[in-house]
Structure 1
Amino acid sequence: METSPLRYTDLPIGDRAAFELVCARHGFAPAHFDISACADPGDVAHERLVTVRRGGWAQSYHDRHGQWIRQFESDLTCRFFK
């Protein structure tokens, strides 16, 4: 499974705008996070698995047409990345 590092600017425009908004709502800048993505071999729809890292914390989300951003915001709300 190949993982490619991304910056938030490499995300599709809709995901990028949503990511920026979620970060701002929680007092972060997109640059505070490292993002990588890879194909999820266990997903029959061949969606990406997006991993977000900050410091020693990391969380992976199934892309599912941008749904990962909602899950990411939920983790920010729970202070997972603080």
Structure 2
Amino acid sequence: MSTTLFRYIDLPIGDRAAFELVCARHGFAPVHFDISASASPDEPTHERLVTVRRGGWAQSYRERHGQWIRQFDADLTSRFFK
């Protein structure tokens, strides 16, 4: 399995805009989070695993066409990353 590290500015433009909105709605900036993705070479890009970290907290989400952003939003709502 290969791992690609990237920041929010490396996300596709639609995901980046959605990520920025979710962060702002909860009082965060995108730079408060580290984002990495991992995928097998035989997996489609939309099936990669996206991991979001802040401090000692981390959560992984399946990409599934932006579904991870809705799950990230739910985690921020439940104060998972605070």
Moved runs in structure 1, 4+ residues, more than 3 A?
none
2:34 paired with 1:34: yes
Does the 8 A contact of 2:2 with 2:40 survive in 1?
no
Q: Which blocks of at least 5 consecutive residues in structure 2 are unaligned? A: none
Q: Which blocks of at least 5 consecutive residues in structure 1 are unaligned? A: none
Name the SS of the counterpart of 2:53 in structure 1. Answer: strand
Q: Deviations over 1:29-74 (max 9, x none)?
A: 0000000001168xx7661100000000000000000010000000
TM-score, scaled to structure 2: 0.92
Residue pairs, 1:3-82, within 5 angstroms? 3-39=3-39, 47-82=47-82
Alpha-carbon distance change, 25 to 40 in structure 1, aligned in 2, over 3 angstroms: farther
Aligned residues: 81
Alpha-carbon distance change, 40 to 61 in structure 1, aligned in 2, over 3 angstroms: farther
Does the 8 A contact of 1:40 with 1:49 survive in 2?
no
* Superposition deviation, residue 3 in structure 1: 1.1
Identity %: 80
Query: How big is the alpha-carbon RMSD for the aligned residues of Structure 1 and Structure 2?
Result: 1.8
